[in-house]
Structure 1
Amino acid sequence: MLSLPFVALLASQGQALDLRNIQAAALYSQSHRGSALLVLQDGKEIFAEAENRFDLSREHILASGSKSFSCTIAVALQAEGKLKLDEPVSQSVQEWQQDPQKSSITISQLLHFTSGLPGKIGPSIVRLNKDMYGTAINTPLAAEPGKVFMYGNSHLAVFGEVVKRKTGLDPAIYLQKHILDPLGVKASWQRDQKGNPNLAGSASMTARDWATFGQMVLQKGQWHGKQVLPAQELQKCFQGSEALSTYGLNWWLNVPFNGTLDAGDEVPVQLAKAGKDQQQIAPSAPQNVVMAAGAFNQRLYLLPDEHVVVVRFGEGGDWSDEAFLKLLLGK
C-alpha cells in the first residue's frame, strides 16, 4: 500500500521564501568562496546559481557531507530485515566477538561516532589507504563504547564492512541500487587500494542530485508516491546520543548543545555560542533544521517548517551556518 503524498503528510505548503532573502544568502555564499547554491521548496526548484565560474552540471566533492548516506543505508537494511540499529557489530564482524569491549559496540554507536574507536584512521588521501575497513576493525579502542563522541572515518569504515558482509555488496553499490537509483540520481566515490569506498567523505554529486536526495529525506522517505525508506525508521537518523546531542546518525542537529565535543580539527560545524550552557549550530533557525556538512563548507540543509532543501557547494574560507540561514530566512 502506497503512503500518502508528501503534501498530505505535511498538511500544507511551506510559506514561500522571500526571493530577496534567497538572493542575500546567495551573495553571502558567493562572497565566501561559494561554487553553487540550489534551493527547493515544496519539491520545486526556486533558485539555482552557479557561483565563481562553477558549472551546475558538474559533480562536486561532498567531503563529510557523504556521511549522511550511511544512515539511509542502515535504514534500508533494517527495512529488509538484515540489520537492527541496536544489534552488536560483532554479529557481522566476528573478529570482535572475543573482545570484552568491542563485542558490545552496536550499529547505532558506529553511526553516532560513539563506538570508542579513535576518530581518524589512515591517510587523509583515500587512495593511499591499503584497506581502510580492515585497519578500522583492527584499531584498538580509545574510549569506552557509548561514552565519547569522536568524529572521523573509523566508525563508517567498520560500518562499510558490516554492509559488505550482510549483503555481499560494496556499500556504495548497495546505496546506489536501493536508494539513489529510485530517485534517478548517482554518486561517485573515491576508494582505497582494496576498492573500499570511503563512506565518511569521498562521494561526489551534482547539486541537483544531492538536493533530490535531501528532498526524499525531507519527505520522510517518500519519492513519487513510493516509500523508498520507511518514515519511522528514517526519523532515527535525527536523534542525538547521550555523548553529543547535536549529532544524530551522521546528520548534524540544530538543538541545544549537550555533551563533550572531543573531535579535533575535523568537526565541520561552527557551534554558535548562545549562552554559557547552551550552544546551537544556528540559533536563529528552527531547532528541527538538520544538515549534512563537509569540509570546505559543503552543506545540505533540510528545513522542515519551510519545506525547503538547500545545497551549497564551497571551496573553503570562513563560513557561518547561523549567518547564512539567518539571511535565507530573513531573521
Structure 2
Amino acid sequence: MSLVLALSATSCAAQSLPAETARKSDACQRAIAMSDADRGLAVLVLKDGEPVCSSPRSMLDQPHELWSGTKSFLGIMAAIAVKDGLLSLDEPAAATLTEWQDDPQREKITLRHLLSMTSGHKSRVGRPPGYGKAVASDITAPPGSRFLYGPVPSQIFGEVMRRKLQASGKSGGPKEYLEERLFAPLGIENYKWRNGPDTKPLMPQGVVMSARDWAKFGEFVHSGGRIEGDRIVDPDTFESLFEGSAANAAYGLSWWLPRTSQSEDAVTATTDIDDHADLLPADMVVAAGAGDQRLYVIPSLGVTIVRLAELDLAAVLRGDQGKWSDYEFIQLALEAVDTESQTPSN
C-alpha cells in the first residue's frame, strides 16, 4: 500500500509540474501582451538573476529612452559618493554651491532635499535647463515643505557632483563617475547619455539604455549595492534612498515607493501604485519614466522587472495620463515567477 501511495504521489507531482509551467508561461504571455497593447517595446522578468519571462532577444538589446527613469541613477550615485567620502546627504548644497551662501532660503537646502524633490524648486517637467540656470532658479517653497517634481533639482545635483569631483581632483563629471564606479563593473555597455542645452549630461532624463542593461542595474539594487560581493555604496545612505519624505511618502531619494501619497503632485497621480500600495510588496522600489518606462525591484522575492515602451508625446502634452496599470502588470509578472503569490504587502 505504501508503494502504491508513493507512486501515486509521484505521478500527481509529475502531472502538476507541466501544469504549473504552463500557467507561468501563460501569465508571462499575458504580461507581454498587456505591455504590447499599450505601446510596449520590451519586457524582461528576472528571478534570482535568471530570466523567466521576456520579449524577443532583439527587443531586449535595443537601447531606449528611460526618460525620468534616469533619476534613479542619481540616488545610487549619491550612495556611492558617500562611500567614497565625497559628500553626505544632509550637508547643505551651499557648501559646494558657494553662490548660494548668505541666501536665507538656499542655505537651508540639503542634498537630501534635492534628491527627494523637496528643495522648493518648481520646474516644468520635460524642459530641463542647463546646470547654471538650474542653480539660479527661484525657490517657490521652503525647503522640505513641498514635493515639487521636476528636472531642476536633478540638474542642481549634477552641478554639485561636478564641482565635488573637480575639487577632489577626479577627472570627468557625474556621468564619467557613474560609468567608472557602476556601469563598467556591472557590464552595462548598451547605452548612451544625452546632453542638455549646456552640453552637460542630463541628470533628470538623459539615459538611453537597453532593457537587459537596465535589468543589470536593478539586480545591483536587489543585491544591496554589491558588485561581486563588494558593497560599493554607503549602507545607511542606500537604505535612505527607499524612505519617503514628510512631503511625499511615495517618493524616496530618486525612487518611487508603494506608499499612499499625501502629495497632490500631478506626476504622482500618473501611476496607480499608491492606489494599491497596501496590496503591493512592501519592499518594492520603482524607477519610472515618461511613457511608462519602468524598473521594478522586489528584493524579498528576488524579482527584477523591466518594461520599456514608446512615449506618446502628444498625449503627455495634453495631460492625458493614459490607461497603464502598474498594479495589474506587476501581478501578471509575479504570476509568471511564483505560483504561491505570497508577496509581503504593506
Is TM (by shorter chain) over 0.5? yes
Quote the Cα distance in structure 2 between the aligned partners of 1:38 and 1:180: 19
CA distance, structure 1, for counterparts of residue 147 and residue 164 of structure 2:
26
Shift of 1:283: 4.4
Are residue 225 (structure 1) and residue 229 (structure 2) matched? yes
What is the distance in 1 between the residues matched to 2:25 and 2:297?
A: 18
- Larger helix share, 1 or 2: 2
2:271 corresponding residue in structure 1: 270
- How far 1:254 moved relative to its partner? 0.5
Give distance in 1, aligned partners of 2:55 and 2:122: 39
> Which residue does the alignment assign to 1:143?
141
Distance 1:290 1:281 in 2: 14
Measure, in 2, the Cα distance between the counterparts of 1:176 and 1:159.
Answer: 17
- Say if 1:214 and 1:302, in contact at 8 Å, map to a contact too: yes
- The two structures have a TM-score, normalised by structure 2, of 0.81
**Residue 296 of structure 2 is aligned with which of 301, 314, 317?**
301
Report the more deviating stretch, 311-320 or 61-70: 311-320
Q: Deviations over 1:256-301 (max 9, x none)?
A: 32x2233x4x4474236xxxxxx44554321221110000110000
What is the TM-score when the length of structure 1 is the normalising length? Answer: 0.84
SS of equivalent residue, structure 2 residue 247: coil
Aligned-partner Cα distance in 2 for 1:313–1:135? 31
Partners in 2 of 1:247 and 1:198 — Cα distance? 21
The 2-side partners of 1:209 and 1:87 are apart by: 32
1:286 aligns with 2:286: no
Partner of 1:48: 54
SS at match of 1:179: helix
TM-superposition CA deviations, 1:170-227 (whole Å, max 9, x none): 2111111111111010341111242211111120111111000110111101122222
CA distance in 2 between counterparts of 1:154 and 1:234 reads 23
Q: Is residue 117 from structure 1 mapped to residue 112 from structure 2 by the alignment? A: no
Would the alpha carbon gap of residues 144 and 101 (structure 1) be closer, same or farther in structure 2, given more than 3 Å must change? same
- After superposition, the CA RMSD in angstroms is 2.1
In structure 1, distance between residues paired with 2:199 and 2:52 = 39
CA gap 1:268/1:19 in 2 versus in 1, 3 angstroms: farther
1:98-113 matches, within 5 Å, as 98-113=102-117
Paired with 1:225 and 1:78, the residues of 2 have a C-alpha distance of 19
Q: Which 4+ stretches in 1 moved above 6 angstroms?
A: none
2:33 partner letter = L
5 Å matches for 1:158-169? Answer: 158-168=156-166, 169=172
Q: Aligned equivalents of 2:270 and 2:286: distance in 1?
A: 10
Structure 1: state its 5+ residue gaps: 1-15, 273-278
Between the aligned partners of 2:276 and 2:137, the Cα distance in structure 1 is: 31
Structure 1: distance between partners of 2:83 and 2:331: 37
Change (3 A) 1:35 1:289: same
In the aligned structure 2, how far is the partner of 1:154 from the partner of 1:47? 37
Instruction: Give SS of 1:55's match.
Output: helix
Distance change >3 Å, CA 173–CA 221, structure 1 → 2: same
* Identical-pair percentage: 36
Match for residue 183 of structure 1 among 177, 183, 186: 186
CA–CA distance in structure 1, aligned partners of residues 263 and 229 of structure 2: 41
Q: Which residue of 2 aligns with 1:319?
A: 324
> Counterpart in 1 of 2:256?
252
In structure 2, C-alpha distance between the alignment counterparts of 1:223 and 1:137, rounded to whole Å: 34
* Residue in structure 1 matched with residue 13 of structure 2 by the alignment: none
> Which 10-residue stretch deviates more, 21-30 or 147-156?
21-30
Task: Identify unmatched segments of 5+ residues in structure 2.
Answer: 1-20, 167-171, 312-321, 336-340, 342-346
Paired residue secondary structure (1:212):
helix
CA contact (8 A) 1:221 1:227 kept: yes
How many residue pairs align between the two structures? 299
Distance in 1 (CA, whole Å) between partners of 2:52 and 2:135 is: 45
Q: C-alpha distance in 2, partners of 1:69/1:142?
A: 26
Q: Which amino acid letter does the alignment assign opposite residue 161 of structure 2?
A: V
Instruction: Supply the AA of the counterpart residue of 2:286.
Output: M
Look up the match of 2:27.
Answer: 21
